[in-house]
Amino acid sequence: MRASDLLRPAPEGLYCPPGDFFIDPVRPVARALITHGHSDHARPGHGAVLASRQTLDIMALRCGEDFAGTTEAARLGETLRIGGVAVTFYPAGHVLGSAQIAVEHGGTRIVASGDYKRRADPTCVSFEPIGCDVFITEATFGLPVFRHPPDGIEIGKLVKSVGQFPERAHLVGAYALGKAQRVIRLIRDAGVDGTIYIHGALARLCDYYRSQGIELGDLEPATVEAGARRDFAGAIVVGPPSAFADRWSRRFPDPLSCFASGWMRIRQRARQGGVELPLIISDHSDWDELTATILETGAPEVWVTHGREEALVRWCELQGIAARPLNLVGYEDEGD
Amino acid sequence: MQRFAELLDRLVLTPSRNGKLKLLVDHFGSVEDPDRGLALAAITGDLAITAVKPAMLRALVAERVDPVLFNYSYDYVGDLAETVSLVWPAPEPASGRPGPTLAEVVRRLQSASRSDGPHVLAGLLDSAGTNARYAIIKLVTGGLRVGVSARLAKQALADLGQQDVASIEELWHGLAPPYEGLFAWLEGRADRPRRTAFALFRPVMLSNALEESDLAKLDPADYAAEWKWDGIRVQAVSEGGVRRLYSRTGDDISRAFPDLVEAMDFSGALDGELLVGDPSVATGTFSDLQQRLNRKSVSPKVARAYPAFMRCYDLLQRGEEDLRGLPFTERRNALEAFVAGLDPSRFDLSPLAAFEDWQALDQMRMNPPHPVIEGVMLKRLDSTYVAGRPKGPWFKWKRDPHTVDAVLMYAQRGHGKRSSFYSDYTFGVWAGPEGEEELVPVGKAYFGFTDEELRQIDKYVRDNTVERFGPVRSVRADKSEGLVLEVAFEGLNRSTRHKSGVAMRFPRISRLRWDKPPSEADRLETLQALLD
């Protein structure tokens, strides 16, 4: 069967006609397969949702228990049949519960990566490359300028700065699902044992991560009684980036704003955002990882979606791999 | 190299002076010789790399990266040095195997010949990691642009060694990278380096602004008054055949003023104001002077149109004799005799202004006899010349600033302590025919208000936002709705870069005019009238 008959872009998202389902639809549909819990991929209001157990739990936390008509948990590596289509979820290494989705029918296999990264992450299962006829890759950081340094170096910068500026509160902007927990875990791995303060928006997800066996150490809410600003001197405070530009951050003594994101590779991005200490930590693949993954899957054809499609398509052409952009709309890299 | 690269990255994003100082002190205190001295030289602009040119970069990267991918990348990043550092196809150095040291990089770049420059540069870029690559390219292209002045770097040295910054400035021009002797002294391992070179900078004596309340405590008979000229403070030093013109922070600006330096045929050190024009005929305005400022060199045409001269305030050195320990009156007598022997088209004397009492001086201050005067200086007759800004011996008493009522148009989030506040304000005045007036921006100010006023403006900005552009908000500003700011400023220059055609000097918010309807804010013509 032709690949474009097995999966094709539609206004709602990627559609599989023989199975009559969508992958990560941006509008409510009858049957949805969800790769991971970020809000641009996992939206409420679908009839039936198939996703990993953890993604379903996260959707319930973020969208409410009744986020879908019915739900079904997909176990990683186990093949299900929907219509005549064989569907298998494989780990994507992006955030807790994230999966790639392989669909196979009439001898053609397509793997939709969702969002993925390749480096080790203590808070989720690592990506597995899956051989396929068509690999659908994300391209959030699909430009050769995006090359993420090792996490340890970046966290080392934070730890050093806390030592240099013990009178200031270090505010670390990190998205609420995935990045925040990973950053906290990495700080622990760097040998910081003390209390880490968190913004209220992180509390439930941090609790959930802990319930899944991910140790985050001593976390306290970053709330204060007026006048207790000095209590946060030398503290590390983790919260969603939007909160740091907000009046919320005024409770902290001379806050030093840090932002954990792959975008921090570009100095001008850091400068525009008023970030003093950029931490280049991403839950997406960098350029080298995107290109290496494409080669590993052995796919003779690559479809590129959300991000800088044109550069990755160009690279595939230079390698003699057929490639095209999918031009899906509605994905806004919340996760980085 | 890695530590130097990290330092640059931190400095460029650290807005506060104290934060930068801390980073610099930690770097100089923890990095060994000669790397720290070379970092210092790179920051103060004293490191020259000549055989490698920025234009080579493009050619080098074109050999290594697909041009289409490079252009996508460059379009996205917008900065050539950064783009090249990021797309350069080389693996990160393995951990435990650090890339080249700064000393190694500098040595290889400085010893490269014209022909093997590109090869040397490419080899360095191959062996360095991403951040270090960026720093290497910045070294090669010159101008680190990390927001650290030479003065701030010297302050960091002073902090490191618990010394006075003046004593470092005094030594500075006799030292050369990598400054091992200087660091040894700062760390208490060696004596203070001796001044060996000629024509060194003498740290400048500065004044405090006079408060009205000071006057009651001061006796007019103890002070001499002198006009405060609106140029730039300079020091002209000529010793042993070496001639140097310094800015008040000790930067050597001789090359930009060859016309003045040529006339420095004396032996001594003069303190004065750099101005343009012919002192005996007409003194040019600050706008005229700007034609000569911030240039590395000057064309003969500009030098003829805007000849530089020095209006002398003080004499610090006469031949072999250091006069700084003498009282003002004695230095002044020496100065008058000294200047009389110099080329009158390049040097003249800043006249003293006789006055009976403070009231009379106040009148003179507000109605100065020349448009290029910005107030008066008071100098205690018995004051010796000491570096820095001691309280008491010298005061400046400026003409009152100009003020204008302008309307808040845009607000930008601040940095550091102010990162959650909209604290940088762009304001405008009305322009255009009656009935069709529009606001045109005339300046930007980010201080002058109290913390409480900042909170009030911040709330106003958040409540009256019309549009957002990244960290900038556009605020409602029309005839009936808007916040009027009284803006004080020191002067006005013509500007071709601003739509309004004017640029303010030293603007700050002097009052919030919550009471004033925006339609009553000033018109552009009010400002234009100040231009001449």
The pTM of this model reads 0.80
Q: pLDDT at position B99, please?
A: 80
Contact residues on chain A for B69, CB-CB shorter than 8 A: 143-144, 311, 314-315
- Nearest CA-CA partner of B408 in B432, B444, B438, B437: B444
H or E element, residue B509: strand B508-513
What mean pLDDT comes out for the span B228-238? Answer: 94
Contact residues on chain B for A165, CB-CB shorter than 8 A: 19, 22
Contact residues on chain B for A247, CB-CB shorter than 8 A: 420
Top-confidence residue, B90 or A107:
A107
Percentages of chain A per state (helix, strand, coil), in multiples of 5: 30, 25, 45
Q: Which residues in chain B are classed under CATH 2.40.50.140?
A: 402-531
Strand partners, A220: A197
CA distance B454 to chain A (A): 13
The CATH number given to B402-531 is 2.40.50.140
CA distance B98 to chain A (A): 13
Cβ contact A277–B130 (<8 Å): no
Q: pLDDT at position B96, please?
A: 63
Q: Which residues in chain B are classed under CATH 3.30.470.30?
A: 208-398
Q: Which CATH architecture has domain B208-398?
A: 2-Layer Sandwich (3.30)
Contact residues on chain A for B463, CB-CB shorter than 8 A: none
Cβ contact A276–B23 (<8 Å): no
Q: pLDDT at position B399, please?
A: 83
Q: Which residue has the tokens 């008493």?
A: B397
Q: Is the pLDDT of residue B198 over 90?
A: no
What mean pLDDT comes out for the span A280-300? Answer: 97
- Cα B392 to the chain's mean position, in Å? 26
In chain B, what percentage of residues exceed pLDDT 70? 99
Of B73, B416, B420, the CB nearest to A145: B73
Q: pLDDT at position A227, please?
A: 46
Cβ contact B86–A150 (<8 Å): no
Note the pLDDT tens digit of each residue in B335-377.
999 999 999 999 999 999 999 999 999 999 888 888 889 899 9
Chain B residues 17-46 with CB within 8 Å of chain A:
19, 22-23, 26
Q: What is the DSSP string of B233-268?
A: EEEEEEETTEEEEEETT--B-GGG-HHHHHT--SSE
Tell the burial category of A237 from Cβ atoms under 10 Å away from its Cβ (0-12, 13-18, 19+): buried
CA distance A166 to chain B (A): 12
Q: Is the ipTM of this complex over 0.90?
A: yes
* Distance of alpha carbon B98 from alpha carbon B30, whole angstroms: 17
Contact residues on chain A for B83, CB-CB shorter than 8 A: 145
- Cα A88 to the chain's mean position, in Å? 20
Of A143, A144, A257, the CB nearest to B419: A257
Cβ contact A314–B92 (<8 Å): no
Q: Is the pLDDT of residue A330 over 80?
A: no
Contact residues on chain B for A242, CB-CB shorter than 8 A: none
Q: pLDDT at position A225, please?
A: 58
CB atoms within 10 A of CB B525: 10
* Distance of alpha carbon A54 from alpha carbon A213, whole angstroms: 12
Q: Is there a contact between B11 and A277 (Cβ–Cβ < 8 Å)?
A: no
Minimal-distance CA residue of chain B relative to A156: B6
Q: Is there a contact between A56 and A115 (Cβ–Cβ < 8 Å)?
A: no
Of B12, B19, B69, the CB nearest to A311: B69
Chain A residues 295-324 with CB within 8 Å of chain B:
308, 310-311, 314-315, 318
* Distance of alpha carbon A258 from alpha carbon A322, whole angstroms: 40
Structural domains of chain A in order of their starting residue, each with its CATH number: 3-145+284-325 (3.60.15.10), 151-279 (3.40.50)
What mean pLDDT comes out for the span A97-120? Answer: 96
Task: List CB contacts of B334: < 8 A, sequence separation 6 or more.
Answer: B315, B318, B323, B326
Strand-strand pairing, A236-239 and A170-173? parallel
Q: Is the pLDDT of residue B419 over 70?
A: yes
Residue A18, preceding peptide bond in cis (omega within 30° of 0): no
Longest dimension (CA), chain B: 78
- Which of A117-126, A254-263, A292-301, B139-148 shows the lowest mean pLDDT across its residues? B139-148
